Chain A
Amino acid sequence: MTSLLEIRDLHVEFRLGTGIVNAVEGVGFAVDAGETLAVVGESGSGKTATALSVLRLNPEPPCVYPAGEVLLDGRDLFRLSEKDLRKIRGNDVAMVFQDPMTSLNPLKRVGAQVAEVLRRHQNAPRGQAREGAVAALREAGIPDPERRADQYPHQLSGGLRQRVMIAMALVGRPRVLIADEPTTALDVTVQAQILELLVDLQRRHGMAIVLITHDLGVVAEVADRVVVMRRGRVVETGDVTAVFEAPQQDYTRELLRATPKLERA
């Protein structure tokens, strides 16, 4: 049976003036509809380079992909032309990034930014795109979405901005959502709300989520399976409860031990 999204033997290199950095060396994993897979690692582990590879969003140059396949329903996205890949982006696979302030256009109203996804990827006419955008903002839990749609990013709090990003990512009803540290820049109470929103939206629409994070607490809260990365390679992978309770690799054990845990009692 083919998985919804499968990465096989992915290699990512950055060819810099100072030499070649092998950011990802033979990473593979798969995720199915309705499932949340967390990719966890420290800085330099290659988790973000892996995430960006799915839609070939690493800057080229300096990035090259010497080997690997990214299969969506068994179809290799690496073999698609840039034009065909653009049809996948936003429609079948969407992304949410860490910092909503730098990924939103500061000069455009947020409603128009969400509507742009529908216009560009689905050729929706203006009025329909606007309606769709307001509906998406509402679904992302933004109160008073008609009014908020006419505001600019700087008029929104960090949590609301991240909800706009989620609305933008999900308005095209993607089957796969790749979320790269989606709550890292947020306060802890806002983080809890955003994670809850993602879980809730997944329950409703059944998309697959690939969650990139450094936070094992977040992994434990929302993921079904986990891939632990270090220095461009997969160290360990498995069911979240199994990996957390009986880690097989020293590095995973170390990471779990170093993670501060709130004791209440």
Chain B
Amino acid sequence: MTNLVEIRGLRKDYGSLAAVDGVDLDVTAGETLAVVGESGSGKTTLTRLLLRLAEPTAGTVRFDGADLFALPAARLRKVRREMQVVLQDPYSSMNPRMRVTDIVAEPLVTHDRSVRGRRGRAKVRARVGELLDAVGLPPDVQDRYPHEFSGGQRQRVSIARALALRPRLVVLDEPTSALDVSVQAQVLDLLTELQARLGLTYVFVSHNLAVVQQIADRVAVMRAGQMVELADAATLFSAPGHDYTRRLLDAVPNPDPRLARRLRAGS
């Protein structure tokens, strides 16, 4: 098993606040690593550093062996193709004036000269069609605008865009938190299927432990900038090692009324 990402001594200060405070973490190729924590725990800052969307105060992030913060611009551009992100809110992460084709094609056009211009157009449409098909959208949605889609469909468009460059790593930052539960379940199934088919590595950021349990191989628990626990999903949920993890698990509402009531009566 090889490490696709290696994070060492990573720290990010905002003024006197250490948003990320000395994190060491490896992401194994092909796994789903979940990063969980409450608001202010530093989970989003961690992923921003990992994507080099922010500069660290100290520490390193290696992607496939290359030190992200020391890479020259041209090589960084190449590495960036291999790491993509899907954000929580599909409404605000798309330009409302762009058609779906152009939204999904934008990374292609940005990174691949051969698809620019009139002749590239057919090639782009074909690739976008493939991508939309992969995320379960019919090809005839290409000429539509984001507002014509439901939240779940929009998140599928975001996923198609993230896959356009055939990345190895996809950071999923609360990808289903804004969706209804029935839609959430479908999007989680889609993510699982795509991972198996394309051999993707996921870093899955979430505050929802029940969702994390469905999708993660390993779980990192963040609190106040620090990683307080890192464990196999099975171990973490059955025998949490850190007191904070236990408290987090205890706080999750249980959709079983008898169990929920028993716990409440006992507390």
Residues in chain A within 8 A of chain B (CB atoms) = 42-43, 158, 187-192, 195, 199, 214-221, 240-241, 244-245, 254-265
Contact = CB atoms under 8 A, between A and B. Distances in A.
A43 B255 contact: no
Interface in B56-85: none
B208 interface: yes
Given A42-B180, A255-B182, A258-B184, A191 B251 contact: yes
B253 A260 contact: no
Interface in B240-263: 247-260
B93 interface: no
Contacts of A260: 181, 184-185, 208, 210-211, 213-214
Given A43-B151, A220-B260, A261 B255 contact: yes
Contacts of A264: 237-238, 249
A146 B60 CA distance: 47
B238 A191 contact: no
B200 to A, nearest CB: 21
Nearest to B264: A221
Contacts of B180: 42-43, 214
Which among A191, A216, A254, A265 has the greatest number of chain B C-beta atoms within 10 A? A216
A215 B258 CA distance: 16
Contacts of B210: 217, 259-262
Given A42-B181, A42-B182, A189 B255 contact: no
Interface string B39-50: 100000000000
A265 B185 CA distance: 23
Nearest to A240: B257
A256 to B, nearest CB: 7
6 contacts: A187-B207, A188-B38, A191-B253, A220-B253, A262-B254, A263-B213
A219 B256 CA distance: 9
B261 to A, nearest CB: 8
A214 B238 CA distance: 27
A30 B251 CA distance: 30
Contacts of A245: 257-258
A174 B256 CA distance: 30
A265 B258 CA distance: 17
A81 to B, nearest CB: 38
